[in-house]
Chains A and B, each alone.
Chain A
Amino acid sequence: MPAELILWCVAGLLVAAAVGVAMARRAVARPVVYGICLVASLAALLVAVGALLASPKASAASLPLGLPWLGAHFRIDALAAFFLVVVNLGAAAASLYALGYGRHEHAPHRVLPFFPVFLAGMNLVVLADDAFTFLLSWEFMSLSSWALVMAHHRVADNVRAAYVYLVMASFGTLCLLLAFALLAGVDGAYGFEAMRNHRFGPTSAALILTFALLGAGSKAGIVPLHVWLPLAHPAAPSHVSALMSGVMTKVAVYGFIRIVLDLLGTPEWGWSMVVLALGGITSLMGVLYALMQHDLKRLLAYHTVENIGIIFIGLGLTMAFQAYQVTWAAALALTAALFHVLNHSLFKSLLFFGSGAVLTATGERDMEHLGGLIHRMPYTAFTFLVGCVAISALPPLNGFVSEWLTFQAILQSPDLPPWGLKIIIPAVGAMLALSAALAAACFVKAFGVTFLGRPRSPAAAQASEVDRFSLVTMFAFAALCLLAGILPGAVIDSLAPVVGGLVGDRMPVQLAVPWLSIVPIAEARSSYNGLLIFVFITLSASLAVYAIHRFASRALRRAPPWDCGFPDPRPITQYTAGSFAQPIRRVFGTSVFLAREHVDMPPPGDRRPARLEVQMRDLIWEGIYVPVAGAVDATAGRLNILQFQTIRRYLSLVVAALVALLLVLAIWL
């Protein structure tokens, strides 16, 4: 039943797309399209929450679409239900936000038809129960999001971003196609049920895993397949950026979990090392890239890469524990990863909504032209601050809980026998710790430079608060971040059927623990209580405020800043995004980005200003993508002669190709 209900919601979304096509240029289209999207997503969200909490057994549906002898199969189990919750929560929020934000869209006819299709595609990927439907929906999702990235195609960078995205998306789909081809085997068993029952040999399992990692990883943004992500996510309109970063990357994570943990069975422990190493490198590189950015949306996009790394660390730990049948620890690691999936979709959407609000109010994405917005946009600033605290993994908000669970999972791993894991897991733990600390620095920079200080441009000085729809959305997500942080037990308990279905075990029931603490294993080993921490901090802060204002002094007067006696009223004397990151660039960037600083100091008497020039290189782009693109270009150049042949040559080429293929077939069979 739930599967059919969600298919109805998808049908509703497709109707919205049709409305978007028909009335794209009329003003009434925006509220209608986003309104339908909001209602459909909310309905799907309710169904998915119901499926996750209420009914443990899977629900299936099929439609006579797709391949004639196959049809399209859909199924909701606990895993799909959880990811449908994530998708539709993000989708509902983005639709609500877009009701207000979309007003400023100057090309609505390039956004309105594709937005509902994008939502429908993500829902269908999670619903799909056979390889054909999965891949088709995946392409649906990729192409509609590509169209949304191209919405503002007159901006030169966006065209390049969309091109890189299209190439990487095609590569990803190709890899997934190969993975599913291997999963389906020679009989062409495309249904997921048949794949689940099939046992795979070590070679084909290794190939399937590699292709799944490449295919889902390129969509999720694993380093070094992340290059399209920081280009494409910021290029789209902000509510779409929120969906791409907060939700679409999670659909990719879903694809990986579905293939590797569900369809494939338990891989060898060696593969968990690969996933762990990739996760660690991804989280560290993602945050370092993010720190070096001064474009707010690009910073957030790079930071998505970091969070994907954290999720993959959790998945790698799950695979390691699974390989040795330590199911309770695998359940802990998988819960941590899935919790982080939910958390990241919450705070990353919130932050992209906030950056969209800043973009609406000032027309700027470059932090070097912002500043002081906390005075002009107090509500946006507050919600953005909540998002920053949450994403920096600081208690008592939600980001901390999932990182804490990941750390707890790491602490359970020394008993795993292989030496490789014994060495790689502490190293990954150190990378995770390092990236958590750098994330805090990154978001001090993002919030501090954008919202604090003095305005650095007239646009920032004249900004005004955004519309109510946007504010309601942002406040709702900020509240969810707090709720998931202080009541993590509820989230962990509702994840139990998902985890149980995949690893065959679950974490202890958390809501039964006194005082609503979370206790992953036993209270003597570790526990955390976000609710009490929140209450304690609130109480002691209020107590301090009350006592001081009551018994000491409450007098206050305003004066110019002190600044050690040399205040300079010009905003140019403030710290900028670049100068804030300079110490970290010197510590980490000199090796990772080969960052070089050069001071151009004019000689005495010369009145030219001194300049500090910073050179940074993207070694991944230069080392992998430039050579590959060069090789493709060179090959294409060589093959170009094929385009200028006579008709006789073409005919003989065709005949030769045909004969060669027939020969191959004859020899093979």
Chain B
Amino acid sequence: MTRRHTARHAARYLLLGAMSATLVGCGGGAGDSGTNDIDLGGGGLATPDDRDGDGIPNSEDPDFDASDLDGDMIQNNRDDDIDGDGVLNGEDDDIDGDGIPNASDPDEDGDGFDEATAENVCGDAAGTDAESVNNDWNDNCSVQRRNQFSDSLYSAGIQRVVYCSGQGNASSVDAYTDGEYGEGTEEAVTAFQTAYNAANPDFAIGIDGRVGPQTWAALQDALVVVQPAVLEGQGPFFDGYGVPGERCGPAEGDDAVVLFLNEITSGNAGISRLGWQLTKGATDATPVPFSTGSPFGQID
């Protein structure tokens, strides 16, 4: 991870912290229940219909329902303030929303970066992926909406596989791959997981819209070597992988689309595999970091 990226992410979380402070300051936290609300509007008279006393007797109320924990007017399970302490940030006891508010949370210390856990096997305070230098994707960092990798090259790789596997809608794989793991990508991952289970009924994985170890492994299972490395001259050498099908080209030949690169070396012990990179695009095989190097960059 570069310092630039570190600074960018630090700024992101500082902004979140500032937003949290603002919301807490105006009473948007979960600690207030609708019935016990006070005159948060300042000077007005709180009534059952106008609980914040701002003269708008309804859902414009900044604290109109305790189920809207983060005060964003969306009362559902996606609230930022999962532990309901009114602080919408890394101080949350259960920031990953897995229902276990404890040390297994990705951001246990609230520094904005996910620590290594069972569900997030490679995270650390710097947000790097130092362990993911082997051939497996199952040790890649877990990716989901709103976590530290939700706008990253990890997300880009995920999008490539799910799109080429038939999920999500766009005019092309490059058009689909923006690296932002939002609502649409989460749904496409959910569809991918569902389809994987249909094809592998005895090896079903959890359908949760998140990319953890087992989903990473399932994504990697979709890859096929479409352009084997030619071990001539000086390296580096790359096996080119794609996800052949209707959307992303045939399994071989000139029309095969290379989306991932697996770097290899050849020595006395045979072939060694050094990790994975993305191609810059479906028609540009320039290597871009994926599970090696910084995953926080952008695809373009």
**A and B bind:** no
